[in-house]
Structure 1
């Protein structure tokens, strides 16, 4: 209703549309694309599941964002999924896809990304982060001399539909809706692929068998971010490395609170070597976060040697690092173009100042963010890296606290900050 109390024309049109599914079938293809998103919202709000089934078949965008609707209508999540998948089933009963068919992704993530929304609005030809290319064709065409049945050739005309979710294992048991959704996808695994951009582990007590069941049903090439923060032990890493090997588009890896437990050094080395060998396969890895891994100093070289592409972010926090570890950071190709370097709460007091200077010098052309908070940086170390920091042409963030430095050194630091500000001003102008 508008301010005057009279219904708008669009409200009347929506009401008539929802009340007559036969009419919906006839006019959906004539509607302009911008009418579909608000109409979808009204259809779900009024629980017209038959109309929703028809809308899916005529959806004019490559992405159908359903996550926010699922959040608002939590009591009808299964009804929404059933209507959407039934609509796809009816559509696939045809031998050939409709000429105007564009839908590729069902996005069940709440508050989907701007890229997903732009794909829905048709402002991009495709949603790059949602429609990752598969490493191999799911249904390759037969080579010369091979024959396939008519049914198989018809299936090949349809690209697999991708169902996009985020996985967060933070409860002892799986979410009821997630269990239902995975079961529905399993019944259609020939033409619907479960994809996930982000996988998080926050609950150690979830049975590995339960996690394996989900990972085995998922297209692992779609994973771009993995976060482990649940006090895993070495054998968990060994188990997970089998799946990590297939996450070829992984961009961000966060490991936190991994425990040494009772594993001896030799067995621990084998696990780390296996894990590093998986990192070697990642051409997309840009962000590596290692937090509260108290044995990291023993294996840092093995882990970083597995990364063959330059990282954008390296965060090593709440750990112990030796001088040899810092020396390695100045040698590996993966640390040559860092933009974000975070050593917060890593005790660097006993590190030779020259090593810190070489490390900062190495990334001076790219470094934007440097965090040395809680590192116990001494006056000699700070004086050694100040000239190198002055050469960091892109530095915009530098954090330092809990450091035993004199007033003179702090004044010198402020002078260098003024130099950075003047340089930044001249670059802007």
Structure 2
């Protein structure tokens, strides 16, 4: 019979384990340590808390990038300090040693592949390893510092609560002439403007590519934020979020359609969203404005901003369009038809008449891959017309449509499933005569009792009620 056996540790691995048992021996030996032994030895020193060895290994690190964030699943301040102490000793050198390879300290949890290759773990994304062999570009321009430090996206709610992050901030601030701290995304919750300024002034605004704002700011706070937004010259994605749940939508949907949803927005903020959009100096790739209530002049101003002309993603989930002139949205779709890949018009209260205005522009968005139109109470005729206008959109991989209003009771509290299934079969047949859909989903409005939506993909799925 064939004998199974376990491959014994290599001599290099045994040597590394022996070094860690005697830090006094390990540190001088790093000068002669083979390159391939650094990652496994570093992992052992990191998890074992060998602070002196870690500090010395950082100074002798033979790769351009140290992806520390992938090891810090349970952050330990003392271990982090040991790593930063090693960087301090490197930065203090007036003449750089020829062995100094390290250019990037990456504190994001994005590159477990590096450690996988040296430890024998399964490699999660092989292509990512080849892409990370060179030093990652930073959006900030003109940086001459010898070291770049990348950190995860920041949230204003918890940046003071994370002691490791707070320590990195303070450490980097004291060495800003020697290193460059790069953060590419921030999430801003409602907070006093002076606190926000203190937060933003710790960052290089040139590096920020993605901003999410979750608040009901008044005009004073908004005006205070505009100068900082204008400095974000690498900004690509801008998301405005006002909380609005499916349960709330369901409650309003069950009301008479002659009423608009009663969503509170600070009246001082109304008509000032344009102030933020207009200050941008570079075109956006992604814009999300969710749960908002536009005034008609504001919608026209925002949608016609020059920074909107190259959007790849437009998310207007929960933006109430009922009763508004659809022409600005039509013109925006015409302007971005060549680039738009994702369009989310979920729960916008679009009417039949409004849909008929924007359909010609929508039919020219030939790069569109994802289209979400659920939660709009349109008729069967309008839905059929919408499907016909998607005939030339060959890139569509996911389409989500609303169940037409003929399938509901008069108060929208109940859905007639047999009527819907018959209608759905007829609509699918019409669509298949025009093109072959890759994935198409029909959804109901949220249930007025539990707030969940029922959907029909391959099989119907009801809500919990």
| TM-score normalised per structure 1 | 0.79
Give matches, 1:336-415, under 5 Å: 336-363=338-365, 365-405=366-406, 410-415=424-429
Aligned partners of 2:208 and 2:126: how far apart in 1? Answer: 21
C-alpha RMSD of the superposition? 3.3
Cα deviations by residue, 1:113-135 (Å, 9 ceiling, x for unpaired): 8799989956544354xx32433
Aligned partners of 1:410 and 1:20: how far apart in 2? Answer: 71
Match of 1:318 in 2: 318
Query: Per-residue deviation at 1:234?
Result: 4.0
Query: Per-residue deviation at 1:423?
Result: 8.1
1:183 and 2:186 are equivalent in the alignment: no
Select which of 43, 58, 66 maps to 1:64.
66
Select which of 182, 207, 232 maps to 1:247.
232
Give matches, 1:156-171, under 5 Å: 158-171=145-158
Higher helix share: 1
1:86 and 2:90 are equivalent in the alignment: no
Query: Per-residue deviation at 1:290?
Result: 0.8
Which stretch shows the higher mean deviation, 36-45 or 413-422? 413-422
Give matches, 1:28-427, under 5 Å: 28=31, 30-32=33-35, 34-72=36-74, 74=75, 77-112=76-111, 123-128=131-136, 131-135=137-141, 137-138=142-143, 158-171=145-158, 174-202=161-189, 204=190, 206-257=191-242, 260-263=265-268, 268-269=270-271, 271-279=272-280, 281-283=281-283, 285-295=284-294, 297-306=296-305, 307-321=307-321, 325-332=325-332, 333-334=335-336, 336-363=338-365, 365-405=366-406, 410-419=424-433, 422=436
> Residues 71, 14 of structure 1: CA spacing in aligned structure 2 closer, same or farther, 3 A cutoff?
same
CA contact (8 A) 2:322 2:351 kept: no
Aligned partners of 1:114 and 1:305: how far apart in 2? Answer: 43
Aligned partners of 1:170 and 1:319: how far apart in 2? Answer: 25
Cα deviations by residue, 1:40-69 (Å, 9 ceiling, x for unpaired): 211111211121112112223332122243
CA contact (8 A) 1:162 1:192 kept: yes
Aligned partners of 2:186 and 2:159: how far apart in 1? Answer: 16
Query: Per-residue deviation at 1:169?
Result: 2.6
Stretches of structure 2 that go unaligned for 5 or more consecutive residues are 116-124, 244-263, 408-418, 439-465
Aligned partners of 2:360 and 2:128: how far apart in 1? Answer: 48
Query: Per-residue deviation at 1:389?
Result: 1.0
Aligned partners of 1:312 and 1:231: how far apart in 2? Answer: 26
CA contact (8 A) 1:119 1:127 kept: no
CA contact (8 A) 2:16 2:37 kept: no
Aligned partners of 2:164 and 2:238: how far apart in 1? Answer: 27
Stretches of structure 1 that go unaligned for 5 or more consecutive residues are 140-157, 425-429
Aligned partners of 1:59 and 1:46: how far apart in 2? Answer: 18
Cα deviations by residue, 1:214-243 (Å, 9 ceiling, x for unpaired): 310211122222122233344433222222
Aligned partners of 1:342 and 1:321: how far apart in 2? Answer: 13
> Residues 296, 220 of structure 1: CA spacing in aligned structure 2 closer, same or farther, 3 A cutoff?
farther
